[in-house]
Amino acid sequence: MLRGKVFKVNIDNKIICNMFSQTLDFKTAYYAMKTTLTTIKDMAKDLNLSVCMPYNIGCGIADGEWEIVEQIIADVFDDYEVTLYRLGGLAYE
* Cα–Cα nearest to 67, from 20, 40, 28, 17: 28
Sheet bearing 89-92, strands edge to edge: 51-54, 82-86, 89-92
Domain count, the chain: 1
What is the chain's pLDDT, residue by residue, as a tens digit (93 residues)?
Answer: 689 999 999 998 889 999 999 999 999 999 999 999 999 999 999 999 999 999 999 999 999 999 999 999 999 999 999 999 987 765 655
pLDDT of residue 91: 60
Is position 79 within any domain?
Answer: yes
Could you tell me if residue 1 is inside a domain? Answer: no
User: The pTM is what?
Assistant: 0.88
Find the helix packing angle between 30-47 and 66-76, rounded to 10°.
30
Q: Which domain holds residue 78?
A: 6-92
67 occurs within a structural domain: yes
